[in-house]
Structure formats: structure tokens, C-alpha cells
Amino acid sequence: CLLSGSWRSDTGCRMVVSILSKDGRFSGSYLPGSAASDPQILTSPLEGSQQDTGLVPQPTFSFTVHWRLRARTTAFLGQCYVGTNGEETLHALWLMREAADSSAEDWKATR
């Protein structure tokens, strides 16, 4: 299971992994599903790493997205599964952090 290529989520988000190095590092772009209704949302860069597929056939991965035009960063952590029919599926959790104006507002900056 290799992350290189194009992926689409159930909510319409699109991730394109354009470079996957031998050591498992990758980069690419991410476009949220809400971009279809908001033309100000731009494709944002992503960087991450994937577990060595030589060690496990269904590797774990992580990547971060640094949003353009917004003071936000999202971290994704998941695993790539290969079904009996050979179809690859990603399962991931995410955590988004927005810049807070002060430490008193820190509580509402993470989703």
C-alpha cells in the first residue's frame, strides 16, 4: 500500500501525494471538500511520512497540512489498508490547530 497518487475522502477532500521517497517521506497537496462552495479556499501543501511497506503490508502514516490564507495547521495520523480485492483505503484521524490571539483563548484553538 503506497500513498503516492490521488486520494478522495467521503466528504470530498482531495489529497495528492506527488513525491514518495525511499525512506517513506512524501509531499503533495490537499484541498478540503468545502472548496467547492468557497472559491477563496486554495490547495495547501502537505508533508508526511509512511511506515516502510517492506516491514508491514498495511503501513501507518502521518502528514501535516499548512493551510494557505489561514493561520491553521492540521495533522493527520492513520493507516493504509489493502482489501481482499486489492483496493487501498486510508483510515485517518485529524487534529486542527488555529492560531489563538492570546493564551486565554488557547482552549478554543484546537479541534
Q: For the whole model, what pTM was predicted?
A: 0.84
pLDDT at 69: 67
Q: Are 57 and 1 in contact (CB under 8 A)?
A: yes
The residue among 23, 25, 20, 21 whose CA lies nearest residue 5 is 20
**Residue-wise pLDDT tens digits, 39-98:** 667 789 999 999 988 888 889 999 999 987 678 899 999 999 999 998 999 999 999 999
Beta strands in 1-111 (DSSP E): 5-8, 14-20, 25-31, 44-50, 60-66, 72-82, 88-98
Higher pLDDT, 41 or 99: 99
CATH class assigned to 5-105: mainly beta
Nearest-angstrom CA–CA distance, 12 and 2: 21
Per-domain residue ranges for the chain? 5-105
The residue among 61, 59, 81, 67 whose CA lies nearest residue 111 is 67
